């Protein structure tokens, strides 16, 4: 059973298009995240949600809009895609901060290529 | 925010060799994790280790929280160990997010 799954795995699209990436976790975690990995492999937080509530928005452009319909899902919608949005996007989940073990688990990543 | 530095940035080994990867961080942490990103891009959890020592097969890790560093030991390396190793931390001042180091790119040659 996949713990954190995101779809699609690969996404190639033209500039200006709108696209969505879906993420689901079956670990019963309260907190979910989106991370971006750039071409130099650097991983940086974009958004954190706790119990469907936005906790962190790390200076991400408004074109990126996360949506959490329930605790197990966190989707990422991107409007008006730009060349610079090309990257690998990772979804992750963890238990809520304050518990003894806050280990985070990551999905397999979505490689977005904007042409 | 918290700073995370990993060393060395690159490491090339012959199969069977041992290695030590280091992670320094600038503040106290609630969470410290080591990940292996394999050549297919998957981020694989190696250790959740905010303090103490853990071992899993040929891999072990030690975090000395009071001195703000963690070490990942790889013994008898295999070609399948190749990839990027990331250290990531969550600190009291940066709740609800992991801050990653830039990683160590490990290449194990046969």
- A31 at the B interface (CB within 8 A)? yes
pLDDT digits (tens, 9 = 90+) for A74-99: 999 999 999 999 999 999 999 876 66
Using a CB-CB distance cutoff of 8 angstroms, which residues of chain A are in contact with residue B95?
55, 97
Q: Which two tokens stand for residue A89?
A: 């996007």
- List the pLDDT tens digit at each of the 110 positions of chain B: 899 999 999 999 999 999 999 999 999 988 999 999 999 999 999 999 999 999 999 999 999 999 999 999 999 999 999 999 999 999 876 678 899 999 999 999 99
DSSP 8-state code for residue A84: G
pLDDT digits (tens, 9 = 90+) for A26-76: 999 999 999 999 999 999 999 999 888 898 888 899 999 999 999 999 999
- B58 at the A interface (CB within 8 A)? no
- A3 at the B interface (CB within 8 A)? no
Nearest Cα to Cα of residue B85 among B9, B4, B3, B12: B9
SS (H, E, C) chain B: CCCEEEECCEEEEECCCCEEEEEEECCCEEEEEEEEECCCCCEEEEEECCCEEEEECCEEEEEEHHHCEEEEEECCCCHHHCEEEEEEEEECCCCCCCEECCCEEEEEEC
pLDDT score, position A93: 95
pLDDT score, position A97: 64
Residue B106, strand partner residues: B11, B83
């Amino acid at each position: 059973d996949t713990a954190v799954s995101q779809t699609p795995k690969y996404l190639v699209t033209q500039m200006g298009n709108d696209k969505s990436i879906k993420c689901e976790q079956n670990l019963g975690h309260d907190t979910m995240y989106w991370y971006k990995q750039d071409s130099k492999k650097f991983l940086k937080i974009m958004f954190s949600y706790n119990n469907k509530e936005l906790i962190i928005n790390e200076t991400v452009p408004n074109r990126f809009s996360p949506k959490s319909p329930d605790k197990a899902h966190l989707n990422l919608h991107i409007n008006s895609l730009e060349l610079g949005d090309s990257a690998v996007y990772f979804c992750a989940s963890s238990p809520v901060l304050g518990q003894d073990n806050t280990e985070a688990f990551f999905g397999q990543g979505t490689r977005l290529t904007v042409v | 925010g918290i700073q995370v530095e990993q060393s060395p940035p690159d490491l090339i080994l012959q199969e069977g060799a041992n290695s030590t990867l280091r992670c320094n961080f600038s503040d106290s942490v609630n969470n410290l994790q080591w990940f292996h990103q394999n050549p297919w891009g998957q981020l694989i959890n190696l250790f959740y280790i905010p303090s103490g020592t853990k071992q899993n097969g040929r891999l072990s890790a030690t975090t000395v929280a009071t001195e703000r560093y963690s070490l990942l030991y790889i013994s008898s390396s295999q070609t399948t160990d190749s990839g990027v190793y990331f250290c990531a931390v969550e600190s009291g001042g940066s709740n609800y997010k992991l801050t990653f180091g830039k990683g160590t790119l490990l290449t194990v040659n046969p």
